[in-house]
Amino acid sequence: AAPLPQRFNFARYILQTNSGRASKTAYIDDDGPLSYGELDQRVRRFAAALRKAGIHPEQRVLLMMHDTVDLPTAFLGALFAGAVPVPVNTLLPAEDYAYMIEHSRARAVVVSHALLPCLQDALAKTGARPLVIVSGGDAPGGASTMAGMLDIEPLQPEDCADTHADDFAFWLYSSGSTGRPKGTVHSHGNLYWTAELYAKPVLGINENDIGFSAAKLFFAYGLGNGLTFPLSVGATTVLMAERPTPAAVFKRLTEHKPTIFFGVPTLYVAMLSSDALPRKEDVAMRVCTSAGEALPREVGEKFTRRFGCEILDGLGSTEMLHIFISNRAGSVRYGTSGRPVEGYEIELRDETGHPVPAGEIGDLYIRGPSAALLYWSNREKSRATFQGDWLKSGDKYVADADGYYAYAGRSDDMLKVSGQYVSPIEVENVLIEHPAVLESGVIGKTDGEGLTKTVAYVVLNRSETPSDSLANDLKSFVKTKLAPHKYPREIHFVAELPKTATGKIQRFRLRAIDAG
């Protein structure tokens, strides 16, 4: 890959890369196509609007947005102006947005119209008063619309913020087993490296590709799939605002015929078991990817039998920004995450920090140029994760003699459900807020498809009686307090929980009980 110049602004780089493609389609969202020429204008206009609104370089702009062309416009426009966009999960409860707005000290929030009531709830919980910019609809008093703000003279290329490749460019929040989500700070250069090291050589992405990612742009995985990668080569991307149900995905696969589909294991399972699964002749994928959690071998094999196309399962992280271990076309080994992506180094270490040999499980460490710089305002967790050149992932892996890596669990108690982290402690803490619950222990369980689901063991207060309706009530209770993927899919009522002498819940014993 070409080395990066010291002065580097990712948005300027993308506009320059595509300056000869003005009439080519960059995006097709639910409202239709947008050309590279139009994207260029929108990015520079949004940058001008942020400057006019008094947003200064390095100030954060929260993006609480569904996947439409307004999201790449806002993300790249903020980078162009030197501001720091922070795309956030659109399924969170208002408390989480209140925390993120305060923690990031966001000077502006760009919000999809449908999410405005939730933002208003969040703002009512904080003293913060960011500028509110509404995408895709009218703005209430005091707020602006994105469409209105784009009615401005665009900044000229020479007015782009003169950023260093290592400057803070954007944040993504990532969750841990305890505490609040961590603001993971990435540089302009990191975006460039994920495209150079993974997307171009591993996926062979090029300007003739049409990409479609079921993972949304606010995830690190989705941001690469739907923004960094296609825009680095002038490809076309299909964006979809709604949830990625099998039906919604099939519609895009058959209507727009993407050549690259970026999925996650739970979705592949749901697609393959759907009666509406398209025929091979109705789709055009040349390659697919999977990340977020390990793809069960049978799922990959079944998909390839149906479509004749491989799924390249890989491992990435928010901290490394994208995939650093991946299968390769033609040498896929289903049931593994593949081999290290060139440009990244991987080590598996034992508890004393020494490398473990092939065949033994170790803690996964990564070294590579797309590593985040730090967690904002969190020295303790930054130090535990970013250890000099190396980054501790929190995953346990085992490598075979051929250099293929297979998932072997987490180093902490975190679960990965539908590709997203779930902290058992966070779910337990919510369950005990319910008046019927005395205590609870939450674990992950592998279902019949080989995917992880959340299971809660609950001890009720003496006056309560276990019942199915109480179990459903507890599930709904968690759903109202946490993001939807976190609620326990199974609730078991028990008389007591296994504990250490000091009273800590022994989740490994719960897992053994659960396994029967």
Residues lying near ligand 3SK in the complex (CB under 6 A): 220-221, 291-292, 315-318, 322-323, 419
Q: How far is the CB of 317 from ligand 3SK (least distance, A)?
A: 5
Q: Measured from the CB atom, is 292 or 362 closer to ligand 3SK?
A: 292
Q: Measured from the CB atom, is 168 or 221 closer to ligand 3SK?
A: 221
Which residue's C-beta sits nearest to ligand 3SK? Answer: 316
User: What does the alpha-carbon distance between residue 108 and residue 223 come to, in Å, rounded to a whole number?
Assistant: 20
Q: Measured from the CB atom, is 292 or 300 closer to ligand 3SK?
A: 292
List Cα–Cα distances, 229 to 88, 159, 346, in angstroms.
20, 25, 23
Q: How far is the CB of 492 from ligand 3SK (least distance, A)?
A: 28
User: What does the alpha-carbon distance between residue 256 and residue 35 come to, in Å, rounded to a whole number?
Assistant: 16
Q: Measured from the CB atom, is 322 or 333 closer to ligand 3SK?
A: 322
Q: How far is the CB of 39 from ligand 3SK (least distance, A)?
A: 23
Nearest Cα residue to 238 out of 213, 262, 219: 213
Neighbours of 437 (CB within 10 A): 22
Q: How far is the CB of 420 from ligand 3SK (least distance, A)?
A: 8
Q: How far is the CB of 221 from ligand 3SK (least distance, A)?
A: 4
Q: Measured from the CB atom, is 139 or 398 closer to ligand 3SK?
A: 398
Residues present in the chain in total? 516
Q: How far is the CB of 292 from ligand 3SK (least distance, A)?
A: 4
Beta bridge partners of 32: 29
User: Under a CB-based contact definition with an 8 Å cutoff, are residues 72 and 79 in contact?
Assistant: no
Indicate the SS3 state at residue 492: strand
Query: Considering Cα of 388, then 393, then 394, then 399, what sign does the dihedral take?
Result: negative
Q: Residues near 131 by Cβ (< 8 Å), separated by ≥ 6? A: 53, 55, 107, 108, 109, 143, 144
Q: Residues near 168 by Cβ (< 8 Å), separated by ≥ 6? A: 58, 84, 185, 186, 187, 373
Q: How far is the CB of 46 from ligand 3SK (least distance, A)?
A: 25
Q: Measured from the CB atom, is 232 or 318 closer to ligand 3SK?
A: 318
Q: Provide DSSP, 20-50.
A: T-TTSEEEEETTEEEEHHHHHHHHHHHHHHH
Q: Measured from the CB atom, is 89 or 317 closer to ligand 3SK?
A: 317
